[in-house]
Chain A
Amino acid sequence: MNNKLLLPLLLFTIIGCSEGFNVEFSFGDSKSESSNLEIDNAFASTYAPMNSEPMLFKSANIYDGLGGEFRNYDLLLSEGKIIEMGESITAPGVMVIDATDKWITPGIIDIHSHMGVYSAPGVSTSSDGNEATSPVTAEVWAEHSLWTQDPQFALALKGGVTAFHVLPGSANLFGGRGATFKNVSQNTIQAMKFPGAPHSLKMACGENPKRVYGNRRQAPSTRMGNMAGYRTAWIEAAEYTDGMNEKDSDRRPTRDLAMDTLMGVLNGEILIQNHCYRAEEMAMMIELSKEFNYKITAFHHAVEAYKIADLLAEEGICAALWADWWGFKHEAYDMVQANIAIIDQARNGSGCAIVHSDDAVGIQHLNQEAAKAMAAGNRAGFEISKAHAMRWITSNPAKAAGILNQTGSIEVGKDADVVLWTGNPFSVYSRAEKVLIDGALAFDMNNPKIQPITDFDLGIIQPQTNRVQ
């Protein structure tokens, strides 16, 4: 009967990613001058937007995802882009949708997902998120594990999620590369990949790596062992990067997939997403990043981020957080519901707070999680508006994923990734009525034909019906 540990351990193996953002390293324009351009193009996105027609939303209430709130506004989408937002737009011949008393937001973005790598059903044959065979597995890519028929994608879509970042788990010091996806149903992984989005590298602090490897009587088994493991790898990566920059190709080292990833970080092309709960460990990771001259984009799970909110704001590091999960392990003990708000308000409001899920249920309700975090912040004495809090689930995660140039806000010229909500999105009673990705209707609450049903769902309970109707 001694399976007490089993459930929490299973749970923990799916916990943990961390990401970071870096505005100056927006994807696409920062190709390394070193010798591996061809590497960057491997497994590139083949995403093509679904067919769309121009659409005009009339009399909507809009949160633009940047802190703005617009009442009774119109929004025009065409050819996959946001064309115009204004008080009275006319566009003859365009499909008009009456959005009176409804709300429009940017598509919701989750910076921390394991959909597709820990698919549903959660059976052992689909447990593809942790290559827990060595503490340094920077060579693996989460996207190579992705199952395109995971029914969780469509459930997240119904919650308004238009893009998500899939990370490896947190068993390892370096868990591997993460990738960003558009929430579209496609039969190949590349066809779902967000075009031009940078990779991330998942790193993990604290209890998980030291437990996984300590239990096997190998390093790391302590937090100091974790640090030694990171530093050893970065020393090797720095040498590898120098070697790859040799003009004489004969003097370059043999290509190494793990080192390619670490080099990508040192070159500013790959964003660090760092699973890290405790304040002093995050501060230590910042020191580490300075020692080896790389940038941390975001700390993930960061239950104690509020203790070093000013430091994170000064360093320009985002914190991707839950509204209230705690107690499942010791490093998640000091939970405060105002964590997200404290991060947001640090250094005169210059902090970068993100609500993340790390969970297939949570990803469907990020709007509600933001509502809880905002209310807790306001009870703690801040004055945070809904329009401002909307940033936590739209533009801030877009920034951390390196895709803010394309999505994450309602701005002219951006991808038409938008959600029409039945009511105010901070209310539990509001539902995503229409979800558009690149201007195409990906989900419509009122039209069963515009609700994706995966191959997995099809006829699986009874042949006449589908798993979800």
Chain B
Amino acid sequence: MKKLFTTLSLLFLVAPVISETVLLKGGLVHSGNGGAAIIQDILISENTIVGVGNNLIIDGNTRVIEVSGLPVTPGLISPMSNLGIVEINSLDVTRDDESELLSAGFSIFNAFNPHSTGIPWNRSNGVTSAISTPSETSFPIFGLGSHFILDGSLEIKGSKDIAMFGRLGASYGSRAETLSLLESLLDIGKMANSMPVEEILELNIADQLELQAQDIIALGKVVNEDMPLVIETNRAVDILQALAMKQKYDLNLVLESVEEAPMVLDQIKASNTPVIIDPMDNIPNSFDELGSSLDLGKMLDQAGIPIMFSTQRSHNYHLMRQGSGNAVAHGMSYETAIKGMTQTVAQTFNLDNRGSIEPGKLADIIVWDGDPLEPASFPKIVMIEGQLQDLSSRSSKLTERYTNTENKPSSYKH
């Protein structure tokens, strides 16, 4: 069966699907909504899931792909990546994740490179879309993240400037100053509701903070239009400060890292704040993270707090599978882990029509060769908006070249 399956998927790679109906038959479907997986068929028409069930009616033109019990999940969504905006971390000339001029209003959207090598690599590992973010700066707000579909197309698909990113904690100077600075920025955002940007720019505070019009407009969206604000913070008392700020300004707050969250679970839960965590980071890397532990995922899950996953290192955002697998090994529920890589991200960041396998959703779907939370598993099929994706990457090309035993220089093995 395995061999047949490979042949089938190869067939599709050779002949990309053009607008047709596809039935993924008999997969163990994790819908991404937190429910238990069941064996089901998935019917896809053009770019959309049109049916999920066991007795779907298909016509003679439907292409049937036997999935035969393999696990199926929605395409994974990285909530925090640098895909398409950083090629090589140590080379500034390959990075577009930082602005000299802007802060809160810095948008990376127009820098996105759909040909970045990280895109096919992450796609072939099951990540079908990602939020790319500006990098951390000495200013507590770094800028705006955008959501990108990882199909490699020059016609860039995604949602521009969907969330703002910042931090609170030990870094540059006192966190008291950071808090006061954050509040000043949010106050400015509030003003944008009633004052023209040109007038706000004239204010002393705007001048002191070297704000540009774009910064003020973006802050206005966070305070007045419910744009998610993602704040990286770890120390228990800082988490409480962030939650107080959420309440004061009625923010759509997302907390990231939160290594000391187990000490303030009730408050996080009561505030309906979702979190992004790296479940494998149990190192007390700083004096902000002394409470760091592998139990973080379990504790958050048991408190009913929505969880998403970041990764320790850049370039391999699919490793959130390994991270969430470790969280499950330490007590998080399996379906929370799957949901955290799919629907929770879509819901938190308003990525409508994605993140779950349900009729009406866009068909971002992965068929896995084994348990998706096992690091050794790998996708058999990657589908983005109904299109079967080529699973090759620069890495797979190098592998082919260096496992080719022909006796000639490697440059001629292609």
A interface residues, Cβ below 8 angstroms from B: 1-5, 7-9, 11-12, 120-123, 151-152, 155, 207, 306-307, 309, 324-330, 333-338, 342, 360-361, 364-365, 368-369, 371-372, 374-375, 379-381, 426-431, 460-461, 467-468
A-B contact pairs, 28 of them (CB 8 A): A1-B100, A2-B137, A3-B138, A4-B97, A4-B98, A4-B135, A5-B90, A120-B284, A121-B285, A123-B287, A155-B283, A306-B398, A325-B313, A326-B315, A326-B316, A327-B87, A327-B88, A333-B117, A336-B402, A337-B395, A337-B399, A342-B402, A361-B312, A364-B282, A369-B375, A372-B376, A428-B326, A429-B325
Contact A380 B399 (CB under 8 A): yes
Contact B138 A1 (CB under 8 A): yes
For the complex, give the distance between the alpha carbons of A360 and B373 in Å: 22
Q: List the A residue with the shortest CB-CB distance to B143.
A: A1
Q: Which segment of B158-166, B216-224, B289-297 sits at the interface?
A: B289-297
Contact B91 A121 (CB under 8 A): no
For the complex, give the distance between the alpha carbons of A155 and B287 in Å: 17
B372-414: CB near A (< 8 Å → 1, else 0) gives: 0111111000000000000000011011001100000010000
Contact B284 A121 (CB under 8 A): yes
CB distance from A349 to the nearest CB of B (A): 14
CB distance from B235 to the nearest CB of A (A): 10
Contact A368 B284 (CB under 8 A): no
User: Is there a chain A Cβ closer than 8 Å to B286's Cβ?
Assistant: yes
Taking CB atoms, residues of chain B closer than 8 Å to A342 are: 402-403
Taking CB atoms, residues of chain B closer than 8 Å to A12 are: 90
Taking CB atoms, residues of chain A closer than 8 Å to B287 are: 121, 123
Contact B377 A120 (CB under 8 A): no
Contact A329 B280 (CB under 8 A): no
User: Is there a chain A Cβ closer than 8 Å to B89's Cβ?
Assistant: yes
User: Is there a chain A Cβ closer than 8 Å to B5's Cβ?
Assistant: no
For the complex, give the distance between the alpha carbons of A329 and B398 in Å: 18
User: Is there a chain A Cβ closer than 8 Å to B249's Cβ?
Assistant: no
CB distance from B171 to the nearest CB of A (A): 10
Taking CB atoms, residues of chain A closer than 8 Å to B328 are: 428-429
Contact A431 B329 (CB under 8 A): yes
Contact A374 B376 (CB under 8 A): yes
Q: List the A residue with the shortest CB-CB distance to B101.
A: A1
Taking CB atoms, residues of chain A closer than 8 Å to B373 are: 428
CB distance from A338 to the nearest CB of B (A): 5
Contact A368 B375 (CB under 8 A): yes
Taking CB atoms, residues of chain B closer than 8 Å to A151 are: 283-284
Taking CB atoms, residues of chain A closer than 8 Å to B319 are: 324
Q: List the B residue with the shortest CB-CB distance to A426.
A: B376
Contact B283 A327 (CB under 8 A): no
User: Is there a chain A Cβ closer than 8 Å to B322's Cβ?
Assistant: yes
- B284: contacting residue among A2, A11, A325, A467, CB under 8 A: A467
Taking CB atoms, residues of chain A closer than 8 Å to B329 are: 428-431
Contact A123 B312 (CB under 8 A): no
User: Is there a chain A Cβ closer than 8 Å to B46's Cβ?
Assistant: no
- A155: contacting residue among B282, B313, B374, B378, CB under 8 A: B282
- A329: contacting residue among B90, B97, B289, CB under 8 A: B90
Taking CB atoms, residues of chain B closer than 8 Å to A461 are: 263, 290-291
The tally of residues in B whose CB lies under 8 Å from a CB in A reads 56
Besides A2-B100, A306-B402, 13 other CB < 8 A contacts?
A1-B98, A5-B92, A121-B289, A152-B283, A309-B402, A327-B88, A328-B90, A336-B398, A337-B399, A371-B375, A371-B376, A429-B325, A429-B328
CB distance from B290 to the nearest CB of A (A): 5
Contact B293 A328 (CB under 8 A): no
Within 8 A of A (CB), among B263-308: 263, 280-287, 289-291, 293
- B88: contacting residue among A123, A330, A428, A468, CB under 8 A: A330
Contact A427 B281 (CB under 8 A): no
Q: Max chain B CB contacts within 10 Å: which of A11, A324, A430?
A: A324
Taking CB atoms, residues of chain A closer than 8 Å to B315 are: 325-328
Q: Max chain A CB contacts within 10 Å: which of B90, B97, B325, B374?
A: B90
Taking CB atoms, residues of chain A closer than 8 Å to B289 are: 121
CB distance from A151 to the nearest CB of B (A): 6
Contact B89 A336 (CB under 8 A): no
B88-118: CB near A (< 8 Å → 1, else 0) gives: 1111100101111001000000000000011
B interface residues, Cβ below 8 angstroms from A: 87-92, 95, 97-100, 103, 117-118, 135-139, 263, 280-287, 289-291, 293, 312-316, 319, 322, 325-326, 328-329, 373-378, 395-396, 398-399, 402-403, 410
For the complex, give the distance between the alpha carbons of A427 and B376 in Å: 8
Taking CB atoms, residues of chain B closer than 8 Å to A365 are: 280, 322, 326
Taking CB atoms, residues of chain A closer than 8 Å to B396 are: 336
Taking CB atoms, residues of chain A closer than 8 Å to B135 are: 4, 7
CB distance from A170 to the nearest CB of B (A): 13
For the complex, give the distance between the alpha carbons of A152 and B281 in Å: 11
Contact A207 B290 (CB under 8 A): no
For the complex, give the distance between the alpha carbons of A426 and B322 in Å: 12
For the complex, give the distance between the alpha carbons of A426 and B285 in Å: 27
Q: List the B residue with the shortest CB-CB distance to A369.
A: B375
Contact A336 B395 (CB under 8 A): yes
Q: List the B residue with the shortest CB-CB distance to A372.
A: B375
For the complex, give the distance between the alpha carbons of A439 and B316 in Å: 38
Taking CB atoms, residues of chain A closer than 8 Å to B325 are: 428-429
For the complex, give the distance between the alpha carbons of A339 and B100 in Å: 39
Taking CB atoms, residues of chain B closer than 8 Å to A4 are: 92, 95, 97-98, 135
Q: List the B residue with the shortest CB-CB distance to A3.
A: B138
Taking CB atoms, residues of chain B closer than 8 Å to A429 are: 325, 328-329
CB distance from B177 to the nearest CB of A (A): 16
Given the interface pairs A121-B284, A121-B286, the reply to whether A375 lies near B98 with Cβ below 8 Å is: no
For the complex, give the distance between the alpha carbons of A365 and B376 in Å: 13
For the complex, give the distance between the alpha carbons of A398 and B316 in Å: 29
Taking CB atoms, residues of chain B closer than 8 Å to A467 are: 284, 290-291
Taking CB atoms, residues of chain A closer than 8 Å to B90 are: 5, 8-9, 12, 207, 328-330
Contact B139 A1 (CB under 8 A): yes
Taking CB atoms, residues of chain B closer than 8 Å to A371 are: 374-376
For the complex, give the distance between the alpha carbons of A3 and B263 in Å: 32
Taking CB atoms, residues of chain B closer than 8 Å to A307 are: 402, 410
Given the interface pairs A375-B376, A379-B378, A430-B329, the reply to whether A328 lies near B314 with Cβ below 8 Å is: yes
Taking CB atoms, residues of chain B closer than 8 Å to A120 are: 283-285
Contact A335 B395 (CB under 8 A): yes
Q: List the A residue with the shortest CB-CB distance to B88.
A: A330
Taking CB atoms, residues of chain B closer than 8 Å to A2 are: 98, 100, 137
